[in-house]
């Protein structure tokens, strides 16, 4: 939350520099600032109003969709997959908009580790075994949402044939967290 506050303070300073009648969007502002992704927001006097983004996950993170948030902190947000591959299928998503696993940099190593740790903790809290779970990222171009997300599927033993194909371990289209981390 502190990062957002800093971003808005900086944004207000930028607004004072803009000619009267022009609006500065948060999206344009954040392209120049490495901070938490926010949806496009127009500034009306001193109060920001948030509009929906083209990214469904950004909308969920910013509570613009009717989605139950299972866990949230300053860096990540966790919610259920809308097409579960097993009894328990969650998505761990960074709050900062990162397009996909190929877009990660060495600066994101801690975030990737946190995403996996958070997913494992949620499994544990729901009395599910990490040993009977599948974790992974869709590898571009095989993804439906262009916002990095870690799939956590449990129990793996209850996955159907099609789900096992879609979320096939170490395939060209579904990369393990270990593989993704090794590229950073």
114 with 76: CB under 8 angstroms? yes
Of 63, 23, 19, the closest CA to residue 42 belongs to: 23
Inter-CA distances, 180 with 3, 96, 126, Å: 26, 18, 26
Continuous segment of H or E residues that includes residue 172: none
Given the residues 89, 138, 147, 149, the one annotated as active site: 149
124 with 66: CB under 8 angstroms? no
Of 173, 149, 176, 172, the closest CA to residue 61 belongs to: 149
CA 112/CA 117 separation, integer angstroms: 9
CA 4/CA 10 separation, integer angstroms: 10
Residue 138 annotated to the active site: no
Residue 154, classed as helix, strand or coil, is: strand
Q: Show which residues are catalytic.
A: 149
């Amino acid at each position: 939350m502190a990062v957002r506050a800093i971003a808005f303070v900086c944004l207000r300073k930028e607004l004072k520099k803009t000619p009267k009648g022009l609006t500065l969007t948060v999206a344009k502002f954040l392209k120049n600032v490495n901070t938490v992704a926010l949806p496009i927001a127009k500034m009306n006097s001193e109060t920001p109003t948030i509009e929906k983004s083209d990214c469904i996950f950004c909308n969920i993170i910013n509570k613009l969709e009717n989605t139950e948030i299972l866990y949230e902190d300053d860096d990540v947000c966790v919610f259920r997959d809308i097409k579960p591959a097993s009894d328990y299928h969650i998505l761990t998503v960074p709050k900062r908009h990162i397009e996909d696993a190929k877009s990660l940099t060495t600066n994101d190593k801690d975030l990737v580790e946190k995403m996996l740790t958070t997913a494992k903790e949620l499994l544990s809290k729901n009395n599910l075994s990490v040993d009977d779970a599948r974790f992974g990222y869709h590898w571009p171009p095989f993804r439906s949402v262009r916002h990095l997300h870690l799939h956590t599927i449990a129990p793996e033993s209850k996955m159907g044939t099609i789900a096992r194909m879609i979320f096939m371990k170490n395939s060209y289209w579904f990369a393990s967290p270990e593989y993704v981390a090794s590229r950073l």
